[in-house]
Structure 1
Amino acid sequence: MVKLLYKPFGIVFGLLGGVLASALFGKVWKAVTHQDDAPDPSDEHRGWKEILPAMALKGAIAGVVRALIHRGGATGVRGLTGTWPT
């Protein structure tokens, strides 16, 4: 039952995490490269050497943010209900 109740919150937190990860990636990319925009995989004027590191960094940041949000949410649910929501 707890898992079912947690599901909608997990979805909302996941969406918010995506927005947070995207904003964080933008700030990290700008700080590291001093460029305002990261390369897009479909940009024909950018090479593999630019695109792959950018996407690897973006994926790493997204993974860490997702883990923080899901783990934090599950820990919060356990604190409230005494049950892990998985």
Structure 2
Amino acid sequence: MSKGLGKAAYKPVGILLGFAAGAAAGAIFEQVWKVAGAGEAPNATDEDRGWGEILAAAALQGAIFAVVRAAVDRGGAVGLRRMTGNWPK
């Protein structure tokens, strides 16, 4: 497969993998938050929650999302290289 065709073929796969990564990260965050014993994850506009809890939840959610997204992106790139011999750019 040509290098350009490999990159073009990866674009829609990368988009789908991104959606899947977001859904997986959200589910992982909810479970981690429950295991931490904090109950349901707070919304930023929840007036019954303090700044510390809101910001801690946002930081944890962002970290989980970044790790899951990086793992999915890397796995997709490795998979493309195995299939086509080319690394996506």
Counterpart-to-counterpart distance in 1, 2:31 and 2:17: 21
User: Structure 2 length normalisation: TM-score?
Assistant: 0.91
1:1-40 pair list within 5 angstroms: 1=4, 2-35=6-39, 37-40=40-43
The number of residues matched between the two structures is: 85
Tell me which stretches of 4 or more aligned residues in structure 1 moved more than 3 Å.
none
Counterpart-to-counterpart distance in 1, 2:10 and 2:22: 18
- Residue matched to 2:64: 61
Counterpart-to-counterpart distance in 2, 1:42 and 1:7: 35
3-state secondary structure, aligned to 1:3: helix
Counterpart-to-counterpart distance in 2, 1:71 and 1:8: 15
User: Structure 1 length normalisation: TM-score?
Assistant: 0.94
Structure 2: runs of 5+ lacking an equivalent:
none
